[in-house]
Chains A and B, each alone.
Chain A
Amino acid sequence: MTIFDWLERLEFLRGEPAAWLAALTAVVIVAAPDVRLMLLALAAHYFGAFLLFTEVLDPRLAVVKLLVGWFVCLIFYMTGRQINWGRPPVDLTPAEAAQWRERAPGRLANLPAPLWTARAGLAGLALLLAWWLAGRPNFYLPLLPAELAPLNLAVYALLALGLLQMALAEQPPGAGGLLGAGMGALLFLTGFALFYNTLDQSLIGLGLLAAVNLAVALAVSYLALARRNECVNSEL
């Protein structure tokens, strides 16, 4: 089966369903309390983004975006395994584990709700704002054909949620937090790429954007491992 055959089978997902898939998976990435869940959502997000990219690019080029995205997920998966998904190392004694300063999922001030509920609320608000903007003709992205209107939602949602995810990174960030923040950067880049590729479909631009995604993923992975070593060296 060729890419075109697969796209025919997935015709029901193209257009607005793909935009919602990309946006909702981005919400999951922002709200999820566990890095593994974020990673699953990221993989699904890249699939939704691929379906959107097929609207503006040749499918054979759009599939490169999907492969790069899933490769990024693989990089994060291997890094996540090495940092034990942001949790304390498995070989700590109970006394050492009690001193471990990697941020546990915190609680929101004095409220009984866990932190992820606040993140989910903010993500939901951001998605609502993006949906509202995308529905107003004055805010349609310039030079976007009318048949590609669902891209407005996807672009606004990914830009907003990517920025939100980066802004919500804990200070100082833990190793798991850095991976999460890195996913936010990649959401932001994907959202912008969706818009930019409607303006510029040159091979070198596409290639450079793909290289940038991989480079950012590798840099974030390195930083997460470095942060892990900082925590280990300072505690043990």
Chain B
Amino acid sequence: MLNSGPFLLIIGPLVGAAATGLAAMLPVGAARWRPAALAGLGLLLAVALGLLLALADGEAWVVYGRSLLLTPEGRTLCLGLLLLLAASYALALVWPAPDAFVPLSLAAVSPLAAMVMIRPFALGALFLLLAAALLAPVLATGRPGSAGTAWRYLVMVVAALPLFLLAGWLAAAPAVLPWGAARVLAAAALLVLGGFPFVLWVRPAARQAAPLVRPFLFGGVQWAMVGFLLGWLAASPDWQVDPGFQAWLRWSGGATALLGGLLAALARDRDELVASLLLLDLGLGILTLLLPGAMGWQTAVALFGGRSVALLLLGAAELLLAGRASGGRSRPWALALWAYGCLTLLGLPLTVGFAGRWALLGALPGLSDGPGGGVLVGLLLLALAAGLGGVGRRVWPPAAAAPPKADVEAAG
């Protein structure tokens, strides 16, 4: 059975999670090196699972009459998830992550993989909710307000579940709702991907999440969700060309990106800036659902891969800058790393994020007949410019104002 990709992806992470969970219960005397031990064990398990998955031949597993199919895209996605986790755990060897992160993130790989593999697609939403229930506790870091933020994240997925299941049912049933399956799926996608108007949970979650949790939560998990949706749309191509589906995603993605850019321009601190840039990128991630077939998949890989790398860089930089009252002034290279992470998240040239950004912006105008595509690209460029302005304000703050002349003269 170890040769079966689906079996490995369902059972392997759960076994790994159990092992790391048991390791987390080490006696109090081992508390000093427990975080590093957990991270090391998690790293070994993630690498081992990735290697086994790369070598596994089997692509199908039937469970209770339902199939789990591992397509090449699904395999790439799961390998990417494991690689991202391995990178996060490697950083956690140096900077301890929350104890719950390693076991719960490993455990979450199982339902995320099942979500991508299950047929019929609608059942994937149930696995998505299972994954969200595993990840919500990771968001509750003990900082004030983090439990409420984690709850909001869970609520979005709970609210989306009926829409996903309805979309699956409407695909097979006569159109009994005025919207149709495509728009129901669009609404569900916006709920789970943080698209406007369902954006309220995004920035608080980005601020509250530990720096090493963010890449997996907003990079890997979001990629898995988009991969799941793209797979479903590939099997139902009529939905992707539905005018309502296109319009809802286009304008929600654009509005989300624009909102993120504007908030980034007005950000008052680094955390707020990063959260706003992430919101901007989430909007762009939603737009990948408009791209058909292989173009959509390749753009998603580039975009979410870039986002994951950016968040890893930002996480490392924030940990380097943390605890230093002088912040970037005493560690300019850490600030430079942070700035590069922000630029990567923006997808500027000479960064890892550029490939996905270029692919998306290049493909969008061709999707619509009128000027709508051009208008959307214009709005996105405006959002990116605003985000860049926000980064500039944080990296090059204005010089301190000179003391008033009268005070100087009085002191003299």
Known A166-B155, A192-B165, A226-B140; contact A204-B148, beta-carbon cutoff 8 A: no
Contact A196 B165, beta carbon cutoff 8 Å: yes
In the complex, A233 has a CB within 8 A of chain B: yes
Known A181-B151, A215-B134, A222-B140; contact A230-B169, beta-carbon cutoff 8 A: no
B150's nearest neighbour on chain A, judged by CB, is A223
Contact B137 A223, beta carbon cutoff 8 Å: yes
Contact B129 A172, beta carbon cutoff 8 Å: no
B168's nearest neighbour on chain A, judged by CB, is A200
Known A188-B158, A212-B133; contact A226-B142, beta-carbon cutoff 8 A: yes
In the complex, A222→B132 CA distance in Å?
13
Mark out the residues of chain B between 149 and 194 whose CB falls within 8 Å of any chain A CB in the assembled complex. 150-151, 154-155, 158-159, 161-162, 165, 169, 173, 176
Q: What are the residues of chain A within 8 A of B165 when measuring CB–CB?
A: 192, 196
Q: What are the residues of chain A within 8 A of B126 when measuring CB–CB?
A: 205, 208-209, 211-212
Q: What are the residues of chain A within 8 A of B148 when measuring CB–CB?
A: 171-173, 178, 227
Known A185-B154, A219-B133; contact A172-B173, beta-carbon cutoff 8 A: no
Which A positions have Cβ atoms within 8 angstroms of B?
Answer: 142-143, 163, 166, 169, 171-173, 178, 181, 185, 188-189, 192, 196, 199-200, 202-205, 207-209, 211-212, 215-216, 218-220, 222-224, 226-227, 229-230, 233-234
Minimum C-beta distance from B93 to chain A (A) = 25
Minimum C-beta distance from A219 to chain B (A) = 4
Contact A189 B158, beta carbon cutoff 8 Å: yes
A159's nearest neighbour on chain B, judged by CB, is B162
Q: What are the residues of chain B within 8 A of A209 when measuring CB–CB?
A: 126
Known A142-B176, A200-B169, A202-B65; contact A227-B147, beta-carbon cutoff 8 A: yes
Contact A230 B147, beta carbon cutoff 8 Å: yes
Some 27 contacts from A to B, beta carbons below 8 A apart, are A142-B176, A166-B155, A169-B151, A172-B144, A173-B148, A178-B151, A185-B154, A192-B165, A196-B169, A200-B169, A204-B66, A207-B64, A208-B126, A208-B127, A209-B126, A212-B130, A215-B133, A218-B133, A219-B132, A219-B137, A220-B151, A222-B136, A223-B136, A223-B151, A226-B146, A226-B147, A234-B144
Known A142-B173, A215-B133; contact A229-B154, beta-carbon cutoff 8 A: no
In the complex, B399 has a CB within 8 A of chain A: no
In the complex, B123 has a CB within 8 A of chain A: yes
Contact B151 A216, beta carbon cutoff 8 Å: no
In the complex, A192→B146 CA distance in Å?
28
Number of chain B residues whose Cβ lies closer than 8 Å to a Cβ of chain A: 34
Contact B123 A205, beta carbon cutoff 8 Å: yes
In the complex, A188→B155 CA distance in Å?
11
Q: What are the residues of chain B within 8 A of A166 when measuring CB–CB?
A: 155
Q: What are the residues of chain A within 8 A of B173 when measuring CB–CB?
A: 142-143, 199
In the complex, B145 has a CB within 8 A of chain A: yes
In the complex, A112→B146 CA distance in Å?
33
Q: What are the residues of chain B within 8 A of A200 when measuring CB–CB?
A: 169
Q: What are the residues of chain B within 8 A of A223 when measuring CB–CB?
A: 136-137, 140, 147, 150-151, 154
Contact B145 A172, beta carbon cutoff 8 Å: yes
In the complex, A189→B143 CA distance in Å?
29
Minimum C-beta distance from A183 to chain B (A) = 12
Q: What are the residues of chain A within 8 A of B132 when measuring CB–CB?
A: 219
In the complex, A9→B171 CA distance in Å?
41
Q: What are the residues of chain B within 8 A of A234 when measuring CB–CB?
A: 144
In the complex, B406 has a CB within 8 A of chain A: no
Q: What are the residues of chain A within 8 A of B66 when measuring CB–CB?
A: 202, 204
